[in-house]
Amino acid sequence: MIKNELEFVMKRCTRCILPEDFPNIKFDSNGVCNYCHNWDNRWKNFDYEQAENELVSIFNRARAKKRKYDCLIPYSGGRDSSHVVYLCTNKYKLNPLVVTFNNLFISQYALENIFNMIEILNVDHIFVTYKPEVLKEFYKAMIKGGGEFCSICAAGISYIKQVYQRLFDIPLVITGTSSRVDEQSPFEVNSTHPLYVRRVLKKAGFTQKEIREFVIKRHFEWGALEKIKCKLKGNDYLEIALPNFVEWKDEEIHRVLENELKWKTPNKSDDHIDCKFASMKNYLKNKQIPNFVFKQEKFSQLIRDGQMKRDEALTMLERLIARQDERPKEYGEFLDFMGLASSDIEGLGSISHLDYIQKDELSVKESPMYKAVSLPWKIYKHLTGRFC
């Protein structure tokens, strides 16, 4: 096999393209990394028939609740969330509430996709805008304090999920993220954890009330009392990622969306055509970790899943590294929108979430008493099909 120039610069996994300086990486005697082995353990012999049966069972339990909506689907207008809506309505005949968080920079392509999908599939859709001026100040604070802005979008998506799940008492939330084909960044590389967001916003001078209203505590942050309250009230819900149950092939998804939903994209290789400033996300990440290139994680996942050849990924990565210091064409528009100067961006350096949180802070510590009390509940939940 002819080596790519990148492989002479740094040792890389012989199967995917992750480099030797990737956090927590280890190589076996054949040069294959532990991330590839972990992927194989989860996905190599994945039983789609069994997963389909489990998925149908989850959907049937949600329908049996006889709520106004069977499920809630956060919808960006991008490829994956569009396919989730299509499958849930067209194949599985669910009645979803589709909710879009207006991050204030949704692309024109995404807007057209959203409205085409709503009309064609005839589903209820809510478009949520959160106090635009406050939202812009949140973005600005995260860029200056954390070197990124995606964590505010993540908080916004969590906000709409929880607000509308509670409002309509929806038993199931379905997303389009996948541990099989999407990048699974380790903590050392990326985090949008609410604790980090709260600390950055607090440092920037926002009040606790302003922060709490938007950065809602997520399900994985709940402690014992909140879980018990959820169970006793009966307003429990399950959240699943649809790509973890069914095949998720990019080319096939594009074909279906274009033919069935009039879906449009400027570039089929782009994952985030819904975000006007996606290129700025990558530009800022390269400021934090030079020569890292966020895309190498996605490429590695696609290689493992057989959707991309390793040589192709290395060639694309080489091109991205060569252009990593080039300012995206949206650079000026981004600065104007955020109310920032070029010096605010170029002087960020390596500032990141690691300046605010440690990994061991992120797990909820439950008391031994709660663990003992929760065991009978887990058995009851399994027998009755309750979600929470």
CA separation for the pair 354, 187 (Å, rounded)? 9
**3-class DSSP state for residue 62?**
helix
Q: For residue 78, tell me if it sits in a domain.
A: yes
pLDDT, one tens digit per residue, over 15-65 is 999 999 999 999 999 999 999 999 999 999 999 999 999 999 999 999 999
Residue 293 in domain: no
Which pLDDT score is estimated for 289?
84
Partners of 238 in beta bridges: 172
Two structure tokens written together for 326: 């080039």
Tokens coding 127: 């478009």
Q: Which residues contact 51 (CB under 8 A, 6 or more apart)?
A: 244, 245, 246
- The rounded Cα 289 to chain-centroid distance in angstroms is 20
The whole domain housing 95 covers 47-277+330-384
Q: How confident is the model at residue 363 (pLDDT cuts 50, 70, 90)?
A: confident
Q: Where residue 263 falls among pLDDT bands split at 50, 70, 90?
A: confident
CA dist 74 → 69, 101, 114, 177, 239 (Å): 14, 8, 12, 11, 11
CATH code for position 258:
3.40.50.620
Q: What does the pLDDT look like over 66-96, one tens digit per residue?
A: 999 999 999 998 899 999 999 999 999 999 9
Say if residues 171 and 238 touch (Cβ distance below 8 Å): yes
On whether residue 304 sits in a domain, the answer given is no
Strand-strand pairing, 124-129 and 172-175: unpaired
> What distance in Å separates the CA atoms of residue 211 and residue 216, rounded to the nearest whole number?
8
Distances (CA, A) of 291 to 268, 296, 310: 24, 10, 18
The total domain count for the chain is 1
- The predicted model scores a pTM of 0.89
Q: What is the pLDDT of residues 159-200, one digit of tens each?
A: 999 999 999 999 999 999 988 999 889 999 999 999 999 999
Within-domain flag for 183: yes
Domain contains 288: no
User: Above 50 in pLDDT, residue 1?
Assistant: no
310 occurs within a structural domain? no
Tell me if 352 is assigned to some domain: yes
Report yes or no on 289 lying in a domain. no
